[in-house]
Amino acid sequence: FLGRAITFFKKQDVGEFYIETGELHKGEKVTIAGPTTGFLQVIVEDMRVDNKPVDTAKKGENVTFKVPERIRKNDKLFVIRNV
pLDDT digit string, tens, across residues 35-57 = 999 999 999 999 999 999 999 99
Question: pLDDT of 16-28, one tens digit each?
Answer: 999 999 999 999 9
Which among 78, 77, 49 is positioned nearest to 61, based on CA atoms? 49
pTM: 0.93
CA–CA separation, 38 and 55 (whole Å): 27
CA–CA separation, 83 and 36 (whole Å): 30
- Cβ count near 2 (within 10 Å): 21
Residue 81: per-residue pLDDT: 83
CA–CA separation, 70 and 52 (whole Å): 23
Residue 76: per-residue pLDDT: 98
